[in-house]
Amino acid sequence: MGSCFAQTIGSKMKNAKFDVLINPFGTIFHPINLAFLLDAVIFQDPLDPEGIVEREGLYSHYSFHSDLVAESPEALAELYQRQIQSTYLQLKSASHLILTLGTAWIYEHESFGQVANCHKQPQRLFDKKLTGLEEMKSAFSHVLHNISQVFPQLKIVLTVSPVRHIKDGVAENQLSKSLLRVLCAELEKSIYPISYFPAYEIMMDEL
């Protein structure tokens, strides 16, 4: 689960006949959005209607990617619940959960709060901010505790996506990736079974 890098690696694993579920809520770049969706899976949370967005007759939601889209709010809620259920069942039987972190930059909607996707809504509705290390660490520590209670067999692999977010700016992208790398290092120190795969470092320094 996570950034577009998760989609790429997951597809390769699927082609190699691994039993995988790839980005059930579409591409999710930010750790806090990932943590929110994992908690939603654990607790089987219903879809928050406040985050539903209509565009050109189709409905999507601020908490996930436009890969999940429907022709009515009710159909979107049903689709979301199916994804929640299938993800829960997959995690129940899985041995590993691989999370790829894409960016520490996040958009906040003026009324809904932090969003995973702006769905081409007017820019004036959002503020962009760089999330601090402690805020990301707190969100992830919370969900790691919940995962350990519900899916105790899961081993978690963290990685930072090597895909650059140049639209944020070259310096801003590097600052974001640095924060994500420190986040992974901090989470590795926790009591939970977490390891780090250096995809970012391999891409930047070896290839």
Per-residue pLDDT reduced to its tens digit, 139-187: 999 999 999 999 999 999 999 998 888 888 899 999 999 999 999 999 9
> What pLDDT, on a 0 to 100 scale, did the predictor assign at position 175?
94
The first and second tokens of residue 43, run together, are 């607790």
- Mean pLDDT, residues 59-84 taken together: 97
> What pLDDT, on a 0 to 100 scale, did the predictor assign at position 191?
84
The first and second tokens of residue 50, run together, are 């406040």
Q: Residue 200's pLDDT band (boundaries 50, 70, 90)?
A: confident
Is residue 157 within 8 A of residue 196, CB to CB? The reply is yes
Which residues are CB-neighbours of 134 under 8 A, at least 6 positions away?
none
Expressed as residue numbers, the domain containing 157 is: 4-206
The first and second tokens of residue 11, run together, are 């597809």
Q: Residue 104's pLDDT band (boundaries 50, 70, 90)?
A: very high
> What pLDDT, on a 0 to 100 scale, did the predictor assign at position 92?
97
CA contacts within 13 A on the Cβ side of 162: 13
- Mean pLDDT, residues 129-136 taken together: 97
Query: Is 49's pLDDT higher than 70?
Result: yes
pLDDT, tens digit (0-9, with 9 covering 90-100), for 175-194: 999 999 999 999 999 888 89
Mean pLDDT for all residues in the chain: 94
Reduced DSSP (H G I as helix, E B as strand, rest coil) percent helix, strand, coil of the chain, to 5: 50, 20, 35
Helix (H, G, I), strand (E, B) or coil at 159: strand
The first and second tokens of residue 91, run together, are 């995690």
Q: How far apart are CA 116 and CA 133, in angstroms?
A: 18
Based on the structure, what is the number of domains in the chain? 1
Query: Is 1's pLDDT higher than 80?
Result: yes
> What pLDDT, on a 0 to 100 scale, did the predictor assign at position 166?
83
CA angle 72, 42, 44 (to 5 degrees): 35
| Residue corresponding to tokens 């406040």 | 50
DSSP letters along 92-114, please? Answer: HH-SEEEEEE--SEEEEETTTEE
Query: Is 207's pLDDT higher than 80?
Result: no
> What pLDDT, on a 0 to 100 scale, did the predictor assign at position 174?
92
CA contacts within 13 A on the Cβ side of 151: 24
Q: Residue 204's pLDDT band (boundaries 50, 70, 90)?
A: confident
